[in-house]
Amino acid sequence: MQYRTLGRSGAVVSSHCLGTMTFGSEADEATSGAILETFVEAGGTFVDTADVYSGGASEEIIGRWLAAHPSEASQVVLATKGRFPMGEGPNDLGLSRRHLRDALDASLRRLGVEHVDLYQMHAWDAVTPLEETLRFLDDAVTAGKISYYGFSNYLGWQLTKAVHTAAAHGWAAPVTLQPQYNLLVRDIEHEVVPASLDAGIGLLPWSPLAGGWLTGKYERDVPPSGATRLGENPQRGMEAWQGRNDDERTWRVVDALREIADARDVSASQVALSWLADRPAVTSVILGARTVEQLSDNLAAADLVLTEDETTRLTEASAPQVDDYPYGTAGVAQRSRKLTGGR
């Protein structure tokens, strides 16, 4: 396992993070505990959850495991999130001081801890003034309830506005952003990645295997079946089978992954994860698993280093489809200039 700083902070985390959205739903408590143990034994130190995962059950499972494993718990960098509804009332969601106060305290109770290392805003809130949210987070840092804070699913302009608003008021600065990022979903490279690099924000990509597409287990024009996420629900949200099956780019990426994986005698998942962990601004890749076997295979990516040619092949096969301006060739050409001047 490799280790990196958590964005522009002094905290050190493993280059792969354990995502626990499956805990309490797709993974029962015994399986969740085995997944945690496997992750820690492999050198993993970074665990990510959220209050809405399984209605709070994920945090409760993690809390009981940490209490039963105090030695391991002392090395865990613990992250959770707040923002989405945890009740039916009008103040049971959002990024207001009112809701975040209750959400953070509830998360601390479920986790059985007095503070969390990283508290993340799970999505932008267009209703709450940004200053209100950031002041609450600064107060939470001062009170010792959180060490750092970050965001999830923010756009580039939202991230930049938050960074500069915090700086203008002298409040604690954000350190991380959780975006969806993988070989099939690279649109954040247009605005979010540059904004993160500019601010020293560490990226924590979620869905690094694109909902299973980058494992190489799906075949062109063969609808999935069986005990997989798409097998159980082929129309599953952004990962829906039909749309990606019809996109030629999907199969360019999958074919490249399979060929590199076969040549290196590793899994396609490991190749996809290795590519992602090496992207600019990425601090830690979030691994979600339903079984210990899935996690063990994914963790092997920490030791896989792709060659320059392999990286280039994957990057070119997965290149986002964009117009010439502002994100295509014409726009990119204007983002720098030569020093000699003239035509």
Task: Give a yes or no: residue 332 inside a domain.
Answer: no
Give the lowest-confidence range in 134-138, 194-198, 328-332.
Answer: 328-332
In 3-state terms the chain splits into helix, strand, coil percentages (rounded to 5) of 45, 15, 40
Maximum distance among all Cα pairs of the chain, rounded to whole angstroms:
69
C-alpha–C-alpha distance, residues 199 and 163, integer Å = 7
Task: Give a yes or no: residue 228 inside a domain.
Answer: yes
Task: Give a yes or no: residue 113 inside a domain.
Answer: yes
Q: Contact, 36 vs 305, CB < 8 A?
A: no
Beta 176-178 vs 146-152: how paired, if at all? Answer: parallel
Task: Give a yes or no: residue 338 inside a domain.
Answer: no
Please choose, from the candidates 39, 46, 123, the residue with its C-alpha nearest in 3D space to the C-alpha of residue 283: 46
Task: Give a yes or no: residue 327 inside a domain.
Answer: no
Domain count for the chain: 1
Q: Cite the active site residues.
A: 53
pTM: predicted TM-score of the whole model, two decimal places: 0.93
Task: Give a yes or no: residue 297 inside a domain.
Answer: yes
Task: Give a yes or no: residue 252 inside a domain.
Answer: no
Range of the domain at 208: 3-244+267-305
Question: Cα torsion at 94, 100, 104, 109 (round to 10°)?
Answer: -90
Q: What is the CATH number of the domain that holds 74?
A: 3.20.20.100
Task: Give a yes or no: residue 262 inside a domain.
Answer: no
Tell me: pLDDT of 226 over 70.
no
Q: Report the pLDDT value the prediction gives residue 241, as an integer from 0 to 100.
A: 72
Q: Across the beta sheet with 176-178, what order do the strands follow?
A: 202-203, 176-178, 146-152, 116-121, 77-82, 46-48, 16-19, 285-288
Tell me: pLDDT of 224 over 80.
no
